[in-house]
Structure 1
Amino acid sequence: MTQDILRQILDYSNRADPYPLYKELRRTPVYHDGSGPFVVSTYYEIQALLHDPRISSDARNLASNAADPLAEPGGEEETVLPPSFLKLDPPEHDRLRRMTNRPFGPPHSPHRVHDMRGDLHEIVKGLIDRIAENGNAERIDLVEEFSYPFPVTVICRLLGVPPEDEARFHVWADTLAASLDPDPDADPKERERRTHDSRMELGMYLSGLIEERRKNPTGDMLSELATGNGPDGTMTTMEVLSTAALLLIAGHETTVNLITNGMLTLLRFPEVLDRLREEPELSVNLVEELLRYEPPVQLVPQRSTLADIEVAGVSIPKGASLWLVLAAGNRDPLRFEDPDRFDPDREDIQHLGLGSGIHSCFGAPLARQEAQLALSELARRLENPRLLADPPPYRQNAVLRGPRHLPIAVDGIRP
């Protein structure tokens, strides 16, 4: 294996197709060049580590001398808000995740996501209608006009943001999303200023909304986070703020990539797109295969070891930096038959696309429903959609991998 394999994975020139590099990486299930992170790329090893209590998500447990060429995106938010439960270990992680789950999913709120289905369909319908009204079928940027605005609108409805304020959330989401991507051409100080200002504005807005919901709860998720008083007590204002910001950023970015990667894959496999148009129920299995084949989160960086451990015969010392390359594990031939083949009829799809263990994707039920509705409706309504650029321009980010733009042409849009 070449010594610069990690540099190649992070190199933007390989963003459109990193899978040959992942194949090379899997030849050494635990790769370490002597100074950087320990990189794990095979399915069974990643799955075991995601469930291993000796693996930490808290950056404070990373040894100070653990060299890591990739700082996790979004680290600056700790200067404004406390860490979200995504970046904590038990017992604090478990407490905050339980408190967040009470107003979101089973057993306390089993219908929250299901009851949003009507809203989701109306949002999807409205976005496609707007594209049709613009009348420019020669060139549609599916990211800008559909997959980017869709999830942030959903998060606003979930939290209970008043409709008249949703446009402000779109601006904040745009700025914070841009901060996750390296940009060698941008002025770093100006970029940092815009990001900091957006975080402060979002924090101040949410603080006011939280106080309002505490006085006059309206049944939305933010009201229940602010007023809930279960076995774990009540969240502090800062904890509610941190959790709401996590739902906005994490819930938005991964879903944008899932929908965009999904549509790109369907346009590359038009026979599957035709099937989805005729069989919308195919969307359930289709989305699971997309999460395996083109996952929105490619790798999980900045994990660390709480003890000396051994993985695939390699000794990893306490405090070492650990990368888990989910996208490589998803194409491990020791786990999946013919792993580089896109097959929506695949029966066994226990993928790593939404993680696993205590840090598995919190919003997975909502993300799945969003992607199923979005892709099936796009397949139904777009007439003869086709790519105008393949590969399309990708985002700089190697972790949250997806096209920055997806230019397509259509012959028309069905009512």
Structure 2
Amino acid sequence: MTTVPVSNPFVAGWDLHEVLGTLRRDSPVIEMAMPTGRTAWLVTRYEDAQRALSDPRLSKGISPAGGVEYRTLVSEDVERALTRHMLATDPPDHTRLRRLVAGPFAPRRVAAMRPWIERIAERLLDDIPGDAEIDLLDAYAAPLPIQVICEMLGVPPEDQSAFRGWVTAILAGPMNLADWPAAVRAMVTYIRDLLAVKRERPGDDMLSDLLAVRDEGDRLSDDELTSMVYLLLIAGHETTTNLIANGMLVLLSEPERWTRVVAAPELLPGIIEELLRYEGPVQSSTFRTAVEPVEIGGQVIPAGATVVVSLSSANRDGARFPDPDRLVLDRPVIPNLAFGHGIHYCLGAPLARLEGQVAFAALARRFPGMRLAVPPDQLVWRPSVLIRGLHALPVLPGGAGQPDQP
């Protein structure tokens, strides 16, 4: 195995981009040890990453998600409930599953959700004091997308707080396998029980729709339903939580950036694209397996090998983005890989972008004087193969502006 010349990026914290920059320059496609003890080929350059994400020879259907061998940690019935969703399958199964669940995430339907998401944001901000330090991640960045996806799915409000703990343990995955099985079992059991309730008493929500969905006689099996809800609950809020928290960290790290947002919130769609590129919510793609030898960036990856694409690295590739390590709020939009590429491009990307726009705009209006409560380098990144997220984001709100008037 090739020797990695720098520290492992999955535990790099603040040094992540420095580590990835060295890899991108010296060893852009490199085999390295994963936290599970497996090895994987890490792809770091934009052009190679884009090709890898759309290469049908790199299978999602035979890759252990997150590098975790489910069947060694949980029972077979739980394993089935984790691996029957669209992110863990190849065509034609992927095509079928995505078609059956795509409707609620269509851009036009998502755009119509803006007033509802704005009301959720305002309620959360009403509870934030203007003169006391708070953890913005805990008070706002996490509960906003949790409430959105849970209300879309039909999860009762009293159950929503449980999800954050489960999801945190699940996404730590290889970095903390001790807590992973219990969190997975708890979440799968909850989803199955909730689906049973929806079968008896369907409502006006996505879970009830998924139970009834058909396409030319096709429908979701029980394992597919459980697995799809599992995916939607995790992906439906974790990426947006990190988009908001990482974005606010970046904006507040240099006060003139936040001043710019406060003065011109209409620029937020472009600013969010730059935040996604610069400090995106997903560090790496989920795992793929080469079904035959594949050449990427001049390196032949053997059949059966695991491949991971570093989205964080690809989005700082100077061959794609001029001056890539500098945040440029008015940077001309160049498509990035924050939400992936190809057939597995994130189905919820339009919803995440909308939630980000609403979240930042509401904060800028209500708390224009917000600032970090500690120096940025005192904040701690969660070690993870997949996600790029903070443990906490302490801020001083700085006095409140005006809420929207009814």
- TM superposition shift of 1:191: 6.2
Match runs of 1:4-403 below 5 Å:
4-5=4-5, 7-11=7-11, 14-27=12-25, 28-32=27-31, 36-59=39-62, 71-72=67-68, 78=79, 80-105=81-106, 111-132=108-129, 137-161=131-155, 165-181=156-172, 188=178, 192-213=181-202, 218=204, 220-231=205-216, 233-389=218-374, 390-391=376-377, 392-403=379-390
Q: Per-residue displacement from partner, 1:240-290 (whole Å, max 9, x unpaired)?
A: 222122111111111111110000011013222112112111110011111
Secondary structure of the residue aligned to 1:37 is strand
- TM superposition shift of 1:297: 0.6
CA distance in 2, matches of 1:229, 1:80: 20
268-277 vs 290-299, which moves further:
268-277
Identity %: 37
Cα separation, partners in 2 of 1:187 and 1:341, compared to 1, 3 Å: closer
Secondary structure of the residue aligned to 1:248 is helix
Cα separation, partners in 2 of 1:211 and 1:239, compared to 1, 3 Å: farther
Secondary structure of the residue aligned to 1:16 is helix
Supply the RMSD in Å over aligned alpha carbons: 2.6
Cα separation, partners in 2 of 1:307 and 1:202, compared to 1, 3 Å: same
Instruction: Output the amino acid matched with 2:14.
Output: A
Instruction: Output the amino acid matched with 1:305.
Output: A
CA distance in 1, matches of 2:189, 2:216: 31
Does the aligned pair in 2 maintain the 1:141–1:407 contact within 8 Å? yes
Secondary structure of the residue aligned to 1:17 is helix
CA distance in 1, matches of 2:230, 2:30: 34
Does the aligned pair in 2 maintain the 1:46–1:329 contact within 8 Å? yes
- TM superposition shift of 1:210: 4.0
- TM superposition shift of 1:138: 2.8
405-414 vs 350-359, which moves further:
405-414
Does the aligned pair in 1 maintain the 2:105–2:351 contact within 8 Å? no
- TM superposition shift of 1:103: 3.8
In the alignment, structure 2 segments of 5+ residues that lack a partner are none
Secondary structure of the residue aligned to 2:113 is helix
Does the aligned pair in 1 maintain the 2:45–2:313 contact within 8 Å? yes
268-277 vs 37-46, which moves further:
268-277
CA distance in 2, matches of 1:33, 1:176: 26
- TM superposition shift of 1:95: 0.4
- TM superposition shift of 1:408: 0.7
96-105 vs 291-300, which moves further:
96-105
TM-score (norm 1): 0.86
Does the aligned pair in 1 maintain the 2:68–2:174 contact within 8 Å? no
CA distance in 2, matches of 1:323, 1:191: 21
Secondary structure of the residue aligned to 1:378 is helix
Cα separation, partners in 2 of 1:269 and 1:196, compared to 1, 3 Å: same
90-99 vs 294-303, which moves further:
294-303
- TM superposition shift of 1:350: 0.9
CA distance in 2, matches of 1:103, 1:187: 33
Cα separation, partners in 2 of 1:255 and 1:274, compared to 1, 3 Å: same
Aligned partner (choices 385, 397, 406) of residue 410 of structure 1: 397
Does the aligned pair in 1 maintain the 2:195–2:207 contact within 8 Å? no
Cα separation, partners in 2 of 1:340 and 1:267, compared to 1, 3 Å: same
In the alignment, structure 1 segments of 5+ residues that lack a partner are 63-67
- TM superposition shift of 1:158: 1.4
285-294 vs 264-273, which moves further:
264-273
Q: Name the residue aligned to 1:65.
A: none
CA distance in 1, matches of 2:180, 2:336: 36
Cα separation, partners in 2 of 1:383 and 1:275, compared to 1, 3 Å: closer
Number of aligned residues: 389
CA distance in 1, matches of 2:192, 2:7: 36
Q: Per-residue displacement from partner, 1:128-177 (whole Å, max 9, x unpaired)?
A: 10113xx6x3311001101111111001221233xxx2121221332232
Cα separation, partners in 2 of 1:171 and 1:413, compared to 1, 3 Å: same
